A and B are shown apart, each in its own frame.
Chain A
Amino acid sequence: MSKNIVIKAENISKQYRLGQVGTGTLSHDLKRWWALARGKEDPYLKIGEENDRTKKAVGDYAWALKDINFEVAQGDTLGIIGKNGAGKSTLLKLLSRVTSPSTGTIKVKGRIASLLEVGTGFHPELTGRENIFLNGAILGMSKKEIASKFDEIVDFSGVEMYIDTPVKRYSSGMYVRLAFGVAAHLEPEILIVDEVLAVGDAEFQKKCLGKMGDVASDGRTIIFVSHNMQAVQSLCKSALYLKAGQVVDSGRTDKVINNYLSREVKNKMHSQWDNSEDAPGNEHIRLLGAEIISDLPNIIDPITVKTKLRMKFEFINFTDNTNINLSLSLYTVTGNCIFNVGTASKPLRKGEKYYGELEIPGNFLNDDIYTVQLLFVKDLSTVILNIEDIFVFEVFDEQRAGNWFGKWQGAVRPSFKFSLNNE
């Protein structure tokens, strides 16, 4: 009984009504009211669909969260991960008491403050100084607390010069910094943070994460929601993986993150065509198989920026004595071409199998999702087969030293020799 539980969620579910509010809602409300008045259960809590956004809903109700149970101990940092629509934001809304669950209870010990969105309640006409006080009070601080932290907040946000100017004249960066400054100086027992990393420049991100680290090391509890696995990995001791409103996995962060990555990232790295009808190709060339082989010890491990990759294509040639060469282009998911490489042209015999192989060294690709296009070129001039998206794969960032987790700049991330020396 050494663990001091500060948040305990028991069977919480949240149901949302789909579609518009109209006369249909009124009749449902009346039926619900009638059921409750007779001491029966809410009839609409029994129905509802799983939250799958890809399908069109059939009924009128959907469960954003369904039977969630978890506990958070004091001083823990819990990361909540999951794809868009998994129910992360709904869970945070429940925790921050913005709305209440349809069933179940959450028990909380201590004051919760949330940074669901910084700058809540900022009034554009008020000056920076006035907004610090108003925003601080909205977030649950007393006037005295704010006054004692005032200088720190101004210092943190770096807007001292404009502190008596209405915030509507601020640049968006100044506005966000001031807003985050107030929120960062709250001293709640439990802090809820949602995607702060999306805001501000690298310098500011570093400040924010540093501040969160301070909060955590003070023995206070943090609940952190982010898409950035690196940030979750380094900040959180434990994690909760949500999918379609349900808990898929929880526990140690690295275990949960690995589970998440293996389930959610749909890579296309291995293709084998047994039936030549389905295989990409034409009367000249037909593919037999394509795969990416990594040097990772475990095949389910994610490819990182350090991983060495080998791409291998097997195909069969149908025309006699043609000079063929392969040309491969690597694109980022957004469509930028990173490189294009080609083999030498080679005369191929009819009906024989050949294979092409390309090696991409480690420490070359940046973290991104990549697609590969493969061309078969005849006589170094005519494209006889073009296969787009033969591979789709994601390269993950490495665990970095230091506090900055933003996107690493650049199309590639080579590790050239670059040193800092003493003369």
Chain B
Amino acid sequence: MITDTASENIHWDTVIGPKKSNLSLNLKEIWRYRDLLMLFVKKDIITVYKQTILGPIWFLLQPIFTTLTYVIIFGRIGGMADNTVPSILFFMGSVTLWNYFSDTLNITSKTFSDNASVFGKVYFPRIILPLSKVISGLIKFLIQFILFFVIWLFFLIKKTPPHIHPNMYILIFPFLLIIMSALGLGLGLFITSMTTKYRDLTFLVSFGVQLMMFATPVIYPVNKHLQYKFWLFLNPLTSVFEAFKYSFLGSGILDFGWLLYSCIFTSVVLIFGIFVFNKVERRFIDTV
């Protein structure tokens, strides 16, 4: 028989109980499952083009067609583009960035409902799945970004106007990507946690993301609508998109004050997202 005092001294690897600290991300555990993270990423990338003839080329065709549509509809017909820069670059940059953000948000906001069958059978740190979606989205984004980069280089070398004026602020591009990823992930974690029990929010998300695109300078530049500048910049994505366009094309608004605001906004959303995600993940399988 083991006495109580003796059992207190035993080291337990796992303690499964009703309560747990909600803020700890348990990085050690995530590190232990890093192979799973990478395999999920690999799965996401290769299953997309399984049994297709064009394969990974589809990653490129999608932004090309979207860009061409936007150039015609919003650029030519709507006259919304920034006329000081080539409209194909303007739209392609926006579309590539926006697709990354909206894909990340859409997919991470369905983490629990899409993976209920797997989560219902085995344990692994749940956060691995949304993280893998962020990374596979990033890879897809980088492939599409190469396309943008090639066209960008073409306009850079080309002698005839309209000209582009890239500047050294290109260096903050990785930082912009981090803000976008973190915001998409944070919002996604929050939404998926809230929708496991009450599905109401899912309806909001599907059209909310579409509406959000219009609140973000994707199809128009802010400097054409300066009277709404303050309201547009309240959207944390606005300063990111504008900074991107300013650094690569030389036309846009680079405002470090608003970038700081985006940074803080994103951090709060991410921390809050992780908090509710941790709270929900242990018991969501009972209510999903």
Interfacial residues, chain A to chain B (CB-CB below 8 A): 1, 3, 5, 8, 16-17, 21, 25-26, 29, 71, 93-112, 114, 116-117, 120-121, 123, 125-126, 130, 133-134, 137-143, 166
Q: Which residues of the other chain, A, contact B47 by a CB distance below 8 angstroms? A: 123, 125-126
**Once the chains bind, are B14 and A108 in contact (CB under 8 Å)?**
yes
Contact A16 B122 (CB under 8 A): no
**Partner among A26, A98, A133, A166 whose Cβ is within 8 Å of the Cβ of B39:** A133
Q: In the docked arrangement, what's the CA distance between A137 and B123, Å?
A: 11
In the complex the two chains form, is B285's CB within 8 Å of A5's CB? no
A to B CB contacts below 8 Å, 14 in the list: A8-B7, A8-B12, A25-B197, A94-B16, A95-B16, A96-B123, A98-B123, A100-B16, A100-B282, A114-B123, A120-B121, A134-B39, A134-B43, A141-B35
Docked-complex contact B16 and A105, CB < 8 angstroms: yes
CB-based closest 5 A-B pairs = A97-B123, A137-B36, A105-B17, A107-B12, A143-B35
Contact between chains at A99 and B36 (CB < 8 Å):
no
B159 touches A (CB below 8 Å) = no
Residue B18 is within 8 A (CB to CB) of chain A in the complex: yes
B121→A102 contact, CB < 8 A: no
Q: Which of chain B's residues have a CB closer than 8 A to the CB of A16?
A: 286
Indicate which residue in B14, B36, B122 contacts A98 across the interface (CB closer than 8 Å). Answer: B122
Which of chain B's residues 19-43 have a Cβ closer than 8 Å to chain A? 20, 33, 35-36, 38-40, 42-43
- Which residues of the other chain, A, contact B117 by a CB distance below 8 angstroms? 120
Give bound CA distance, A110 to B14, whole Å: 8
List of B residues within 8 angstroms of A107 by Cβ? 10, 12, 14-16
Chain B residue with Cβ nearest A14: B286
Chain A residues closer than 8 Å to B36, beta-carbon distance: 137-138
Say whether, besides A104-B18, A108-B12, A125-B51, A140 and B282 are in contact (CB < 8 Å). Answer: no
In the complex, what residue of chain A is closest to B15 when comparing beta carbons?
Answer: A107
User: In the assembled complex, how far is the CB of residue B48 from the closest CB belonging to chain A, in whole angstroms?
Assistant: 9
Within the complex, which residue of B16, B18, B51, B198 is in contact with A97, where a contact is CB–CB below 8 Å? B16
Listed in ascending order, the chain B residues whose CB lies under 8 Å from chain A are 2, 6-7, 10-18, 20, 33, 35-36, 38-40, 42-43, 46-47, 50-51, 117-124, 197-198, 282-283, 285-287
| Number of A-B residue pairs having CB atoms within 8 Å of each other in the complex | 122
On chain B, the residues within 8 Å of A29 by CB distance are 197
List residues of chain B with CB within 8 A of the CB of A71.
Answer: 2
Chain A residues near B121 (CB, 8 Å)? 96, 98, 114, 116-117, 120
Who on chain A is nearest to B115 by CB?
A121
The answer to whether A21 touches B198 (Cβ under 8 A) is yes
Give the Cβ gap from B11 to chain A, nearest Cβ, in Å: 7
In this complex, what residue of A is CB-closest to B282? A100
Residue from B16, B20, B282, B285 in contact with A108 in the complex, judged by beta carbons closer than 8 Å: B16
Query: Given A114-B122, A126-B46, A1 and B2 touching (CB < 8 A)?
Result: yes
In whole angstroms, what is the CA distance A106 to B14 when docked? 8
In the bound complex, what is the Cα–Cα distance between A103 and B64 (angstroms)? 55
User: Contacts A97-B16, A99-B285 given: A5-B10 contact, CB under 8 Å?
Assistant: yes
Would A138 and B7 count as touching, CB distance under 8 A?
A: no
CB nearest neighbor in B for A137:
B36
Q: Could you tell me if A103 and B46 are in contact, using CB atoms closer than 8 angstroms?
A: no
Look across to chain B and name the residue whose beta carbon is closest to the beta carbon of A119: B121
B35 pairs with A120, CB closer than 8 A? no
Once the chains are docked, how many angstroms separate the CA of A136 from the CA of B121?
Answer: 14
Q: Which residues of A contact B15 (CB under 8 A)?
A: 105-108
Do the beta carbons of B122 and A3 come within 8 Å of each other? no
Check if A97 sits within 8 Å of B14, measured CB to CB. yes
CB-defined contacts of A117 to chain B, threshold 8 Å: 121
Q: Measured between alpha carbons, how far is A239 from B283 in the docked complex, in Å?
A: 28
Chain A CB within 10 Å, residue with most, of B20, B35, B122 = B122
A404 vs chain B, min Cβ distance (A): 27
Q: Which residues of A contact B123 (CB under 8 A)?
A: 96-98, 112, 114
* Known contacts A3-B2, A26-B198, A140-B122; 13 further A-B pairs (Cβ under 8 A): A8-B7, A98-B120, A101-B17, A105-B15, A105-B18, A106-B15, A107-B12, A109-B10, A114-B123, A120-B117, A120-B121, A125-B51, A137-B39
Which B residues are CB-close (under 8 A) to A130? 42-43, 46
| Cα distance A71–B282 in the bound complex, in angstroms | 23
User: Please, how many angstroms separate the alpha-carbon atoms of A134 and B40 in the complex?
Assistant: 7
Instruction: List A contacts of B17 (CB < 8 A).
Output: 100-101, 104-106
Give A144's nearest chain B residue, CB to CB.
B35
Give the distance in Å from the alpha carbon of A181 to the alpha carbon of B13 in the complex: 27
A143 to B38, CA, bound (A): 10
Most chain B Cβ neighbours within 10 Å, of A106, A133, A137: A137
Q: A1-B6, A26-B198, A123-B43 are in contact. Are A116 and B122 (CB under 8 A)?
A: yes
CB neighbours (8 Å) of A142 from chain B are 35
Note all chain A residues with C-beta closer than 8 A to B40. 134
Contact partner of B13 (CB less than 8 A), chosen from A94, A111, A138, A139, is A111
- A112 engages B14 (CB within 8 Å): yes
- B-side contacts of A126, CB under 8 Å: 43, 46-47, 50
